[in-house]
Amino acid sequence: MATAPDIATLFAADIAIEEAWAGILNPALVGIAAAAIAFSDNVKSTPYVEIEFEETQVTDHVHIFNGFQYRDTVRGSLVTRVCTTRGVDSDQQKLIVGVVRAAAQDWREKFNTDVLPYWGINLFTETGLKRYVDAENRLDKTELRYHVHFNIRPDAWPVG
C-alpha cells in the first residue's frame, strides 16, 4: 500500500474523491459528455457532468499518529450534476443519467488503490435525484446525490 507524503495530503480526501469520480466517469461518457469537478479551471460546455461534495462530516473514529488524535473517517453527500442546454442537448439527459448510475453500481472495483491510494470508500449509494432549470443560463440540470463514507487507510499515514 502507498504511504502519503504528508498529513495535509491525507486530509484532502474529498477533493481526491471528486477527481477520482470524474476520472471514472470520463471513459464511460466518451462521445457523450465530459465530467469535471465543480471547482476546477476546466471550461465546461454542455453536455457536461459536474461533481462536488456538497457536505462532509467527520465521524468520531480516531487514528492516533505521532501522539495526536486524528479523525480519519468521513461521510458526505457527493453530487453528480448533469447539465445540458435547453433546446440544444437536453435530450441527452436520460442517457447521461443512465451512464452515471451504471458506473456507480461498480464503485467497489472502480474506487481502488490505483485511483485512491490513501483512502478507502466504504459506502457509495444513491440517495436521491433532483431536477431543476437554471433559466438564466438556459440549463437543464439533474442532480444524482450519493452518500459516501470514506476513511484514511491505516497504512497511508506518513512515516513518523
20, part of any domain: yes
2, part of any domain: no
pLDDT at 23: 97
158, part of any domain: no
159, part of any domain: no
1, part of any domain: no
Q: What single-letter DSSP state applies at residue 44?
A: -
Tell me the residue range of the domain where 79 lies: 7-152
| Domain containing residue 55: CATH number | 3.30.2000.30
Residue 118 φ then ψ, to 5°: -110, -5
pLDDT at 42 over 80: no
pLDDT at 140 over 90: yes
The pTM of the whole model exceeds 0.75: yes
157, part of any domain: no
pLDDT at 105 over 90: yes
Q: Total structural domains in the chain?
A: 1
